[in-house]
Amino acid sequence: MKEEKKSSCKDFFDAIILAGGESRRFGTDKCSFEIDGKTMLQRVAENFERPIIVTRIPRNCGIEIIDEGIGPIRALEIAVKRIEKDKVFVTGCDFPFLKRRVVEYICSKDYEIAMPLLEYPQPLLGCYNTRFLKNNISKVNSLQELIGIANSAYLIGTEEIKMIDLSLDSLRNINRLTDFYTKVKIFTKSKILLR
């Protein structure tokens, strides 16, 4: 399998990786699970210049913010204060097959929110306008709720993402060991939501 490298230019967005889940369905710490000699967290983090990692335990990967039981949204609220660029990509260690070119494509969209659309929008593969996120993260209890208050959101269908990731592996959310054997098989068209 050919390994995708980071682009040599600086990121035009910051990145936050949520890595604090309890991995109950997975059966062991998912972020530390190794695939081809790299942990799932390392595989995601290597897509970014200086990712901010929100975690319950030290991970020795990127800039870490320890979630001391406050939950992912409140920890994300703390992490967002460290964002310097106009956009921030938010993801989790659940996406070990995430490709850099998919992240760049999502973040290239000029909306308050841009994220893939499977059966439902995928906020943990989302790129957010930093000002929008900083102004609204304290008003919600989930990333999904941000879609309802955004003035503009681009939900990127799988048909569009296939142009840059034919296998759709970047969208594979690994919550159970059996998910390694499951491909994304849903076909959606892109949608623009404006208020």
- Residue 45's alpha-carbon distances to 20, 52, 77, in angstroms, are 14, 9, 20
- CB count within 10 Å of CB 152 equals 16
- Does residue 139 contact residue 189 with C-beta atoms inside 8 Å? no
Query: Which band of pLDDT confidence, cut at 50, 70 and 90, is reported for residue 67?
Result: low
Query: Which band of pLDDT confidence, cut at 50, 70 and 90, is reported for residue 11?
Result: confident
How far is it, in rounded angstroms, from Cα 90 to Cα 52?
A: 10
With residue 113 as reference, give the H or E element that holds it. Answer: strand 113-117
pLDDT tens by residue, 98-143? 999 999 999 999 999 999 999 999 999 999 999 999 999 999 999 9
* Residue 178: both structure tokens together: 């059996």
Closest-CA residue to 32 (of 52, 51, 72, 60): 60
How much is the mean pLDDT over the chain? 87
* Residue 194: both structure tokens together: 């404006």
pLDDT at 78: 87
Query: Which band of pLDDT confidence, cut at 50, 70 and 90, is reported for residue 10?
Result: confident
pLDDT tens by residue, 40-51? 999 999 999 999
DSSP characters for 170-192? Answer: GG---SSGGGGG---------EE
Written as one letter, the residue type at 127 is C
Does the structure show a pLDDT above 60 at 1? Answer: no
The model's pTM: 0.88
- Does residue 86 contact residue 106 with C-beta atoms inside 8 Å? no
pLDDT at 3: 44
Which domains does the chain show, CATH number per domain?
Answer: 14-194 (3.90.550.10)
Query: Which band of pLDDT confidence, cut at 50, 70 and 90, is reported for residue 69?
Result: low
